[in-house]
Amino acid sequence: MNYDRFLNQRIADVPPSGIRRFFDLAATMKDTISLGVGEPDFKTPYHIRNAAIDSLVDGETQYTANRGTPELREEISLYLSGRYGLSYSPDKQILVTIGASEAIDLALRAMTSPGDEVLVPEPSYVSYSPGVTFAGGTPVGVETLEKDDFRLTPECLEKAITPRTKALILPYPNNPTGGVMDREDLEKIAKVIAAHDLFVISDEIYSELVYGGHEHVSFAAIEGMYERTLTINGFSKAFAMTGWRVGYACGAEEIISVMNKIHQYAIMCAPRQGQVAAAAALKSGRESGYEDVLRMRDSYDRRRRLMVDAFRSMGLHCFEPRGAFYAFPSIRATGMTSEEFCSELLKSKNIAAVPGTAFGPGGEGNIRCCYATALDKLNIALDRIADFVAAHT
Amino acid sequence: MTKLETDLLDLLKEDCRIPLEKLAVMTGASLEEVAATIEDLEKRRVILRYAPMINWDLTDRERVEAMIEVRVTPQRDMGFDAIARRIYCFDEVKSVFLMSGSYDLLVLVEARTLKELAGFVSGKLSPLETVTGTATSFVLKRYKEEGVIFDSGDSDRRLVISP
């Protein structure tokens, strides 16, 4: 039977994720050491897991308020004000979602009308552009270059703006490049945003994972940008809580309430135990000076240095990542494309990495390697990559 | 403690065979600085030894372990230290701790057989003049020690590739 007639062609025509294809290939291999993951190698700290266990024992198995439990929204409000100087009302300006992913999807659906263009810096996380398309808009890539330390520059941003441009997705600290935006960088972007009357969806999911003396600055904290920014964050990366699926969006009441309209009909609410655990994570963090987060960040930082040093020793050019937990080395010296490099590496050395092209055409020539991997495995993986590179240069 | 010292201790605690070059890369310090810091930690007896953690249950070595709660009469001017020394000098004794609570010293003992261990308690430990009582508990199974979980099951459950 031909199902075309029953399918929404706009959505059916979106190409499958480049990562998916690679996942299928990797799934056929055994005992692969994977640098292709996008999540911490830590388990959620036990006291956070325990909060969810207690909640189940207490019989907390019901729906929560659409916008999330009052306790969690209160904690999010305290966290964002204490950590990034942002003030959001727990009742009106915060929406708890199923991971930051849902928050991005809701934002795009709430704000995009047919014909609208949404700017997506590239390389970046795989969901943004398809999300814009699903929402009925047109994604427009904005290049970020290694010579600019993978920061978004006002020049590249200006070039991509048209009269149809409505919003910019600002994905920093960046997956996959490890680029971060310092305050001065954000201030330059803010001028362009204000001049063209645009809105910013700031995905700050890696905000706690910044290294080497850099400090995360929220875009909404830049002068004049609070009203023009939707701040998206979550618990997956900082608190090692990927499987719990809890994130949030904060911004103007007018926008949050429209997002909540979709959320309440489509989702009802984020899972209760995830919310309980998330509230426990923020509360204990507040009381302990974010001890768990800092411990994990220190551990990533050490492995970050090790990985960058290893790639450079192989003769590969490697930007020193400043945030998240990925290195994004250039493999151009091997003469292979990113896809060829990753396929061959997987087949001959049983090491999985993600081709840079999965994150947009600008990723050609690079591969993404996650350093949130146990040290012994990381060392083996880097040794094998070194052998592989030596045989191909 | 400097940041470098705590970083090095964290790394060596996990794996004391990491080469100095890698320790230097990971901590962002120079090779010389790392070597000097480790030497200093050794000199100050912060680092006492580099030993593997062994799961003896998987070997064919016969051994029994027990934890013995020991009540003692502290000695004038010496407190518990003198009697603790009398006890920890025995080869069978692996660890000795001074405890708060209903007994004074916790003594971890290892021997090849139950008989040998019983002989240690009745023949060596109890006869010490300041020991007023002992209660021996045998170790049946080891689940976790020094942060290491002994039964496997702590595998990486992440997807091989995720965005």
B131, B70 contact by CB (below 8 A): yes
Domains recognised in chain A with CATH numbers:
4-42+292-392 (3.90.1150.10), 46-288 (3.40.640.10)
B148 CB-near residues (< 8 Å, 6+ apart): B53
Contact call for B163 and A127, based on CB within 8 A: yes
Residue A303: its chain B contacts at CB < 8 A?
Answer: 26
Q: Is the pLDDT of residue A156 over 90?
A: yes
Instruction: Classify B62-141 by CATH class.
Output: alpha beta
Task: Please identify among residues 299-338 of chain A the ones whose CB lies closer than 8 Å to any CB of chain B.
Answer: 299, 302-303, 305-306, 309
A298 contacts chain B (CB < 8 A): yes
B26 contacts chain A (CB < 8 A): yes
In angstroms, the CA A39 to CA A278 distance is 17
Q: Where are chain B's structural domains?
A: 3-43, 62-141
pLDDT band of A329, cuts 50, 70, 90? very high
Residue A32: its chain B contacts at CB < 8 A?
Answer: 160
ipTM: 0.84
Per-residue confidence (pLDDT) for residue B155, from 0 to 100 = 78
Per-residue confidence (pLDDT) for residue B74, from 0 to 100 = 86
Task: Please identify among residues 79-108 of chain B the ones whose CB lies closer than 8 Å to any CB of chain A.
Answer: none
Contact call for B162 and A36, based on CB within 8 A: yes
User: Would B3-43 and B62-141 be classified into the same CATH topology?
Assistant: no
The secondary structure of A281-338 as a DSSP string is HHHHHHHHTSHHHHHHHHHHHHHHHHHHHHHHHTT-------BTTEE--B-GGGT--H
Could you read off the pLDDT tens digit of each residue along chain B, which spans 163 residues?
A: 999 999 999 999 999 999 999 999 999 999 999 999 999 999 999 999 999 999 998 999 999 999 999 999 988 888 899 999 999 999 999 999 999 999 999 999 999 999 999 999 999 999 999 999 999 999 999 889 888 888 876 678 898 888 8
Per-residue confidence (pLDDT) for residue B85, from 0 to 100 = 94
Contact call for B160 and A41, based on CB within 8 A: no
Name the closest residue on chain B to residue A356, using Cα atoms: B163
In angstroms, the CA A234 to CA A239 distance is 9
Per-residue confidence (pLDDT) for residue B153, from 0 to 100 = 63
B3-43 maps to which CATH number?
Answer: 1.10.10
